[in-house]
Amino acid sequence: MFSLKKEFGEKEKKFDRKKFAQILSISLVVGFLFATAVRIWFLFPFVPETEEMSPAFPKGKRIYISRFVRDSSLFLGDVVLVEHPTQKGKVTLVRIMGKSGDQISIKDKVLYRNGISEAQEKSDFSLQHKDARPAFSGTYSTRDNLSNLTVEDRNYFLLCDNRDDCVDSRDFGPLPFEKIIGKVF
């Protein structure tokens, strides 16, 4: 068979533990810094503290939010994390139900977007919401009966899936794009 002979002056290679430890430690530090950067600037975990988006995102289930959101990357049915408009420091997980230029109305707890009810609309997402409470009359509550509203440019009409137990655009109106923290990844 064929065997390799050492050339004149060639040393036998040994395993260098010191060099290996240096390379390993540098790799671990770089990996940790990369993971931290991803966590801070790109993706972060979020755990809903309420049943607002049940059953799609139940209370206590960890989800990941992408910070890279552009106005053009948001679509109907997307679930976003937004700054609460009235309570400083609080955030809300909601679904986009209306975009710029849409005509929104609610009649007896049924959302109409551009004259089409959410039940009739063929969409890429499935409507999942618990709404067991009967509708209030329009004189008592605008949450269940909302007259025509046009969503302004770079604003979004946002609703929770569990609509009886949440605060959303029925209460505070459409939110501007600047209030959106991120989109569920």
Q: Which residues lie closer than 8 Å to 89 by C-beta, 6 or more apart?
A: none
Q: What is the pLDDT of residue 13?
A: 67
Strands (E), the chain: 43-46, 63-66, 79-83, 91-98, 103-107, 110-113, 116-117, 146-150, 155-159, 175-176, 180-184
* Three-state DSSP class for residue 32: helix
Q: Which residues lie closer than 8 Å to 112 by C-beta, 6 or more apart?
A: 103, 104, 105, 106, 118
The Cα–Cα gap between 24 and 17 comes to 10
The model carries a pTM of 0.75
Query: What residues does each domain of the chain span?
Result: 17-44, 47-184
Q: What is the pLDDT of residue 124?
A: 60
**Residue numbers in the chain where pLDDT is lower than 70:** 1-13, 122-142
The Cα–Cα gap between 119 and 13 comes to 72
Q: What is the pLDDT of residue 42?
A: 84
The Cα–Cα gap between 62 and 42 comes to 16
Q: What is the pLDDT of residue 143?
A: 76
Instruction: Tell me: cis bond preceding 134? Omega within 30 of 0 counts.
Output: no
Q: Which ranges in the chain belong to alpha helices (H)?
A: 17-41, 169-172
- Phi and psi angles of residue 93, each rounded to the nearest 5 degrees, phi first: -95, 120
Q: Beta-carbon neighbour count of residue 53 at 10 Å?
A: 24
Q: What is the pLDDT of residue 75?
A: 93
Q: What is the pLDDT of residue 4?
A: 54
Tokens 């801070």 sit on residue: 40
* Three-state DSSP class for residue 6: coil
pLDDT tens, residue by residue, 120-144: 776 665 555 556 666 665 555 667 7
47-184: in CATH 3.40.50.300: no
Q: What is the pLDDT of residue 14?
A: 74
Q: Which two tokens stand for residue 22?
A: 């240096």
